[in-house]
Amino acid sequence: MEKKPADTIDPATHEFVVPTKKIVTMEDLEKFKSSSTVKEIVTFVVELQKSVERKSNNDVKQKDVRRFIYSRLSRFLCRSTRCSRTCPVT
């Protein structure tokens, strides 16, 4: 059996919460803007942009783009939620 770090979430037993709007005031927005989540989203977007820099549309294959996005999203989500699953790369 695979040993998981103590702080990972097991999706089979974790009780997930239905998403709700949390940014409703300027104070909420400021809190979000200074969070690590924003930094990770910006990092994801920058990595995505760099992956296609100086490439024409003909140079970038859809499968490669999907693989890049899945791998980065998987890494982002696992860091953000400490989820024990990863997104399948197809």
Which pLDDT score, from 0 to 100, does residue 83 have? 52
Token pair 């989203």 is found at 41
CA angle 3, 39, 60 (to 5 degrees): 85
Which pLDDT score, from 0 to 100, does residue 28 have? 93
Which pLDDT score, from 0 to 100, does residue 87 have? 41
**pLDDT tens for the chain, residues 1 to 90:** 555 555 677 778 888 888 888 899 999 999 989 988 888 888 888 888 888 788 887 777 777 777 877 777 777 666 655 554 444 443
**Residue among 30, 73, 28 at smallest CA distance from 48:** 73
- The amino acid sitting at 82 is R
Q: In this structure, how many other beta carbons lie within 10 angstroms of the beta carbon of residue 14?
A: 13
Which pLDDT score, from 0 to 100, does residue 30 have? 92
Strand partners, 20: none
- Give whole-number Cα distances, 82 to 21, 44, 55, 69, in Å: 22, 17, 34, 19
Which pLDDT score, from 0 to 100, does residue 31 have? 92
Chain mean position to CA 75: 6
Which pLDDT score, from 0 to 100, does residue 89 have? 40
